[in-house]
Structure 1
Amino acid sequence: MARYWPEPASPTVRSQSAPALVLVNLGTPTAPTAAALRPYLKQFLSDPRVVEIPRAVWLPILNGIILNTRPAKSAAKYASIWMDEGSPLKVHTERQAKLLAGYLGASGHGALRVVWAMRYGAPSIPDTLNALKAQGYSRILIVPMYPQYAASTTASVMDEVARSLLHWRNLPEIRFIRDFHADQAYIASLAASVREHWAKNGQADRLLMSFHGIPKRSIGLGDPYQGECLATARLVAQALGLAEERLQVTFQSRFGKAEWLRPYTQPTLETLAREGVRSVDVMCPGFVADCLETLEEIAMECREAFLSNGGQAFNYIPCLNERNDWIAGLKTLALKHLDGWLPAGGEHSHAPAPRTTDAER
């Protein structure tokens, strides 16, 4: 009988193995030095999602001015919060990945690979995806660790994943978690962290939730970030039963001369102190791991601004970091988005396991 299709030259069978999960955070320099900050800041501030200024205008400013002045200043800030194991963001993200793998393993999904990457710096998204490819993973869940969606954060991660796959011949299946700003476990963990702080220290006059800022122009262009921040704050306040007059939402980390989302965090704290607010509890729900923006900008700089303007007590409530309820909630969130990819029998399934390279052992 005549054949109407050729035999493949080298047959390949796509293994339906357990998927991989990649936690992605913003990034960090490798050391608290100007030399280490320069390439990190160049990569970060060269991203058109982060700085939406025409390249012909922005790049000469970046390369001619900012990269010659800012690295030393930023290095001093990083040095003030650096941990023995490295940058706090790197340390907490790595710990979260290891704990999540353990929680998933205890739930019968030990074959699921959990790794982490940074949008800027190392380990990079391209290197992480290439390693998963070498190990035979063909289904990958990308988890940007940004609860509230913004084009400058979550979308930038999606851009980098897409760029990383441009030259792959055999593409993997990819899923993204877009946001989790209203996720029940995330909100519950934030509320629990506040309750625990109150149980130990009592309640301050005001609870201030500081989110990372973005240019106000971004909202007009359709970015949903501000609305998602306010939704998170409202849900946490509801979970706490907190009266509206005791809650303040602000935005931090303004960069450049353009108007960003208001009210700004530090000026608000200064105003509160001058108006007679004696004590504040401050948390940063937009960050799931403590980092430069929380430990140095908020817990140090903003503390000093509040106290020097007449405030009496400034209490910083840490990010979720390695809280058990947060890692358990992250596990639930991941399993929801892995639906249909995990074998029904958990780790006891007969689905082939991806291979591990010598470098990964």
Structure 2
Amino acid sequence: MKQRQLGSTGPTVATLGLGLMGMSDMYGPADETESIATVHAALDAGINLLDTGDFYGSGHNELLLSRALKGRDRDQVVISVKTGALRDPAGGFVGVDTRPATLKNALAQTLRKLDTDHVDIYRPARLDPAVPIEDTVGAIAELVKEGYVRHIGLSEMGSDTLRRAAAVHPIVDLQIEYSLISRGIETGVLPTARELGIGITAYGVLSRGLISGHWTKSREKGARDFRAHSPRFSGDNLDRNLALVDALRAVAEAKGATPAQAAIAWVASRGEDIVPVIGARRRERLSESLGALDLELDAADLAAIEAAVPVETVAGERYDAHQMALLDSEQG
């Protein structure tokens, strides 16, 4: 599998990464045996960037990853861990805490759950408005110096925060939503990241399944499924967005591809500094996503894809109003 470097100072990873969140949280029940088999299939295919979070399933996801990596060569895997989000026993989100002591305590537990002596990329999941980013990055920099962390990443941060963070310690990548229907980073955040030598690990490349070609209006969403509360999956918004998917399907099929493959390939085409992180929970979805790497898109193909899904016609924000207000990346 072809590889790309994360930023100017980061590790080399496969062109696609695998995000594990859905194996524990946010999208309803998942089959653990199938989840582990999917991780194994990803590793066998050459994917080496595995993304998790200590708050995914309140620790379940890290334990799952630990089980999946048993018998595998740890040095061949790049583990990315997000931290800082707080959960309650019912699974709700109750805030963000990225104080230095909190981060160090969280990492100690992460290392134990992952059964490893280091994390390759450690990142705050969101900006903590009560803690200067310099303090957060400074604390992780100490963990880098001590050998517990290899690299520092960020998630959903805006341009000003990127500059302040990079002034403290090299930042290898910014994990942020980027897809055909979520292109807000193109005007400010992406140019800033490139100026600073910070790579992009793009999550939500299929918009949580919305533009995968597999979502239908009749599909039921459980109460614990994030999409039950997502504006883009609600009411008339869903109808309008699925019409865009139909247009994308026509373009994709003309290339012998699926909508998901076209959407992933489009993100991968945006630059060698961008690594799409797919959220496949099953081997069949992983296999489909891997097919995007074989899809050759020229300028006309890319233009046709963008014409099929004009970003200005997308209905609904990517989060509800409360969550959008918490995104530093949406503030500039």
* TM-score of the pair, normalised by structure 1: 0.27
Which structure: larger Rg? 1
* TM-score of the pair, normalised by structure 2: 0.29
